[in-house]
Structure 1
Amino acid sequence: MSVKPEPASALFAGPFALATLSALSSPEGPAFPALVTADAQVLDLRVALDDGRLTVRDLLDRWETALPRLRALAGGSGPGRRPLADFRVHAPVEPRQVFQSGANYRRHVIDLHVAHRAPGDDRPEEERRAEAAEIMDRRAAEDLPYVFLGLPSAITGPYDDVVLPAWAEKPDWELELAAVIGRPAHRVSVEEALDHVAGYTIANDLTDRATVFRRDMPQIGTDWLRSKNAPGFTPLGPWIVPAESIADPGDLRVTLKLNGETMQDESTKDMIFDVARMVSYASQTARLLPGDLVLTGSPAGNGMHWGRLLRDGDVMDGSVTGLGAQRTRCVAEAAS
């Protein structure tokens, strides 16, 4: 099932975005790459570009030549355009790799540091907050983002239900700005990094807080496979908005509402490492490929902060300035 978004005056910044859609009239029909205009009209890019096997990732593979054609199509007119309301919206791209970032919003990290009090740590909250702030300052000075890998199989659509696994004791939300790679990037500098970003989208990087740290062997640290990669734990989209339509990714508002109540509401200005530094850092080790995602971390206001974690029936509304909005409903997995 899916929860449709509430109407909005503008779907996204700029004249067009990329999406992956399927026709509501043919539920079993194939998904296809689409150009969506700001006035909610859809153009099937398989037809417009005369390629019946085309995907959004194919377009990103040849982004430098595809972008001018997409601009022309967005500015043109003619037959073949249909209203967005006729289609189901899927995750906009199937990435080969998902690079996730932790501890990248200053206030969020300090809140988590306080919430995850180590056993026996009876220091006052003010002291522990000061310690976290000092750690963040040191990380920023040493230019060491915290990047790890997620699974593409955890990705789901922006309006799809999110199944909360029966084993997940503390499922939490983490709304994030995600950069979408448009040119291969390996060992690129910070100054070059944004040239490799095709566009931006929204990701909700759900996390089961109870399984982040290994209880059986704390020496080995975090378990991101278990805590972040259940099927559907990364609602993505609805669109990829071209980078040229986003004036400053370092000045966007990230907002998540739970059942209508605002939980996260922060500017990307609070990021310790901006998009360019994240992409450059990941590329020093890995080769980033077109269609890959670089999630840039989540701001303060997650469930651990509020003492209110996700449960059956919750509805999350997430938005990022210029990138649209997603709406997902939580559904408890039936106990085995």
Structure 2
Amino acid sequence: MNVKITISITLLFVNYGIGQIKESEINGKWIKYKSEMKDGSKILPTPKSDSTFLEISIKNSKLCFNSNPIYKTNEGCIDFSLKENTIKTSIESGYKIEKNTLDTLIICEKIDGLENDKLKRFYLVNDKILYAKELEKRKEDKNIIATKLFTPKLNVGIEGEIFKVLKSDMSNFDLIGSLTIFPSKKLVTSDIDYSSTKKISKLEIVTTIIDNSFNSWDLTNFEKFESIKIPFIFRSESTEIFKGIKMIFFANNISEFDFVYRRKLEDMRKSGELFQKGINAYSEKKYIKAAEYFSESFKTDPENLDALYNKAAAYYEGGDKENACKTWKELVDLGQTNGIELYKNNCN
């Protein structure tokens, strides 16, 4: 069994039989409601709470991305051309349009040289349709809790304003709280449910800036509500290599910081080194040693699924079918299509 530079099983996606699409048909803002790998596998890491946010804007042959549900500003834009129902962003890459209707857009990454388990598929809904449905759902409500998919937007960042005041006396502390917007009263209030610092002055800086942020909010579609509550977690961090403010909305557990920021470059580098040692050991037919290296590579960077596939292949070639099946079962539990096929074909 080959190590993964390896195993590839392709599942066919439903052909919707769409004709040639015009750019005017896909212009607008699209919000992700589901995603997967092209072969049907789950995308890792799996979020702990609400699904990760992605907004894609298409206009004037520009493709723009925003992964922060609370801010109106796009994080980056790239030029594209539309050819053969593919949003071409370069000679080698783009997004294949698999379905397009008035309310739905399904696109899949198209990158030369990458297999289906490395390409992401996005299911998107038109933002106007989404908001109309959310408003209909809440037509009897006066006081609501916002979600990533239905929230007022900030025109300017709160974090930057807080950092300007705190930067002369930065310290490490965490907060869990919420802010509530009252549209008719033109008022914002904040509540802190947890604080790791006892310095009242620090808390007052954070809450005062939040409480004075009313004019920074775009309340389009939210004017009819008496109040809109938005939970958040907050971190002030001061180390030798980083000083700054982190704020995650729609979260109420400090551990969310570990999820959002957990993948470190150093871990990826170390995982890559262990992975290469595993490849070398495998080529020398030292299969058990290779499995150990691949296992450590995956532990160091749990998004390196190739290491887990290779661990199973090494055990299998080394005659340890039991551990190979245990490893394939890990891939099954992670929702990986190739892993499901390998487990089904070799372990039952």
Q: TM-score range by the shorter chain?
A: under 0.3
Q: TM-score, normalised by structure 1?
A: 0.20
Question: Which fold has the larger relative contact order, with Cα–Cα distance below 8 Å and residues 6 or more apart in sequence?
Answer: 1
Structure whose residues are more often helix by fraction: 2
TM-score scaled by length of structure 2:
0.20
Larger Rg over CA atoms: 2
